[in-house]
Structure 1
Amino acid sequence: MALIAVLWIVSALSIMVMGLVHNLRGEARLAGQSRQIAVAAGIGDAAIHIVLQEMMAHTLQGQRQQRLQVVPVTYGGQGIEVEILPLNGLINLNSAGVPLLAQMLALAGMPQNAAQALAQTIVDVRTSRDAQGVARSFEATEDLLQVPGIDYDLYAKIAPLLTADQLGGDRVNPIAAPKSVLLVLAGGDAGKAVAIDAQRASGVVGVDTTGLMAEFIENNATTQRFRLTARIPLGDGGVAVVARSVNLNPSVRDGMPWHTYRFEQRLREDTAAP
């Protein structure tokens, strides 16, 4: 009996040691990943600031950024792509009309009647008044999750198409719009969206947008608000994503030529653009 008891104790201790070793290895792995992500995010943010300096120089020369653009940057010996997205290339939650919102929701998979009703609900929510009589509006796209009828799955589909910019208009600048937004503006015609994106990427000055729905677009619109996104590949096949939403205004009072009003940092498991 004593021998059996000793064997049980030895087995229990072995299991405990194995569990402890496993936990330590896991913590070391997580610490390594956290460090890798932090370093990558720092590199990505540095690349964003390099692009911001170039944008500011062009702005002071009267050359305003109007179109969606991907700029290659080399920093710390690593090549990084920084996407410049003028926010008027997204659908504005605080100003887009019911028809545009319904079109977006329908392309996200909702039946037309349901999309129309939910679009009206979104407008009703943003125009409702608080106790002081002020329109509530949306402060961030995440506020959509508080709208009846919008669950996380639907939100995940439409969030990349949206902005809650308080200064935006009710139409979209197609030259600045990502392909997912172009698809909405084209009424779901993927061929038109791809053709416009290809023209833009080739540097064509006069991109043909006649295939888009005229009531939803505003050509040659300018803005001072941008979202810059850097994607940094990681050694394990993932990618760190850093994004800054900025107001590119040389009169900003904090001494910087631009004002950052939203900063995002996340990890993706693949290198596909969101």
Structure 2
Amino acid sequence: MMHVVKSEIRLASQLQRAALDSGVADAAIRVALQQTLQANQKQFKSIQSTVVAVFDREVQVDFIPLNGLINLNHAPVDLLTDALKYAAGLPQEQAAAIAQGIELERKKPNTKGEAAKLHAVEDLMRIAGIDYDIYARVIGIFTTDLEDTQRVNPLAAPLAVLNVLAQGKEGLAQQVLQNRLERGDTTDTTQLSGNHVQIASTDFIAARATVSSGDNTAVVRVWRLSLSGDSYGLPWRVLGKVAPFQTNGQPPP
């Protein structure tokens, strides 16, 4: 009985701390956004980081341009094929067939006769040939938040997307990522697939707050945002939020 009670107390303590850290992360994102907009910055070309203080805790907030992801609604079919081939590990023929399925699905007319498009990455589960295993491997490389963007900004792309742009050359993708950490906007990206690369600024971003818990773990909170318009009196529009998750103390790449 004592063992059960102690376990429940420990679990309750962990849940309480996670809830508190999540609130601190949300507050940090709001403070960082306020500071950024006061500096009149609404466009981001590369990942930028800042540290803000919330309740005497220092929180790292990263602003990540969403054009570093592959746009499900506007990416060319050959880029979708590469994504399924190099990120999901599918054979060329299967990847091409699924990419064509995505093209057909996003062009289906809605009640107004317009292209219906995909409204969330989860819509991939409607595509013939995509099971949950494939979906789980590609969920982190796609976005439906962007409007007309067809290419990918390598200065904001995660490693999995860089691997797609490098056409499966993992060493090259790692090299670009490392150079980006060292050189920032001057990173050489000429060895990546030029047809799918475009370095450009965007006002669609992900704001990621990492709150250290002091035991070599951290709670991470991510908001997807548009800085081009206001919403309910706020000078930004929230497109979606990722549920808080725990890491080993470092923000994910």
TM-score, normalization by structure 2: 0.87
Which residue of 2 is the match for residue 5 of structure 1? none
Three-state SS of the structure 2 residue aligned to 1:202 is: helix
Which residue of 2 is the match for residue 33 of structure 1? 14
Report the Cα distance in structure 2 between the residues aligned to 1:147 and 1:233, rounded to whole angstroms.
39
Which residue of 1 is the match for residue 45 of structure 2? 66
Which residue of 2 is the match for residue 46 of structure 1? 27
Amino acid in structure 1 at the alignment position of 2:201? T
Report the Cα distance in structure 2 between the residues aligned to 1:157 and 1:168, rounded to whole angstroms.
24
Three-state SS of the structure 1 residue aligned to 2:186 is: coil
- Residues 115-155 of structure 1 deviation map (CA, whole Å, 9 limit, x = unaligned): 11111111111111234433221111122122222222222
- Report if the CA contact (8 A) 2:66-2:146 is conserved: no
Tell me how many residue pairs correspond in the alignment.
Answer: 251
Q: Percent identity?
A: 35
Which residue of 2 is the match for residue 256 of structure 1? 234
Report the Cα distance in structure 1 between the residues aligned to 2:70 and 2:39, rounded to whole angstroms.
26
- Residues 24-69 of structure 1 deviation map (CA, whole Å, 9 limit, x = unaligned): 5554443322211110001111221222123213335xx7321023
Does 1:163 pair with 2:143?
yes
Does 1:176 pair with 2:156?
yes
Report the Cα distance in structure 1 between the residues aligned to 2:91 and 2:14, rounded to whole angstroms.
43
Report the Cα distance in structure 2 between the residues aligned to 1:180 and 1:188, rounded to whole angstroms.
9
Does 1:144 pair with 2:130?
no
Deviation at 1:166, TM superposition (A): 4.5
| CA distance 1:257–1:271, change in 2 (3 Å) | same
Deviation at 1:95, TM superposition (A): 0.8
Larger Rg belongs to? 1
Report the Cα distance in structure 2 between the residues aligned to 1:138 and 1:240, rounded to whole angstroms.
30
Three-state SS of the structure 2 residue aligned to 1:79 is: strand
Pick aligned residue for 1:213 from 180, 193, 198: 193
Report the Cα distance in structure 2 between the residues aligned to 1:67 and 1:89, rounded to whole angstroms.
9
The within-5 A match list for 1:102-251 is 102-107=81-86, 108-219=88-199, 221-234=200-213, 238-249=217-228, 251=229
- Residues 164-220 of structure 1 deviation map (CA, whole Å, 9 limit, x = unaligned): 11414111111221222111111122232223223322244432111011110112x
In proportion to residue count, which structure has more helix? 1
Pick aligned residue for 1:85 from 58, 64, 68: 64
- Report if the CA contact (8 A) 1:103-1:187 is conserved: yes
Q: Any gaps of 5 or more consecutive residues in structure 1?
A: 1-17
- Report if the CA contact (8 A) 1:238-1:267 is conserved: no
Report the Cα distance in structure 2 between the residues aligned to 1:157 and 1:44, rounded to whole angstroms.
27
- The Cα RMSD (Å) is 2.4
Report the Cα distance in structure 2 between the residues aligned to 1:37 and 1:253, rounded to whole angstroms.
28
Report the Cα distance in structure 1 between the residues aligned to 2:171 and 2:100, rounded to whole angstroms.
29
Which residue of 2 is the match for residue 4 of structure 1? none
- Report if the CA contact (8 A) 1:240-1:265 is conserved: no
TM-score, normalization by structure 1: 0.81
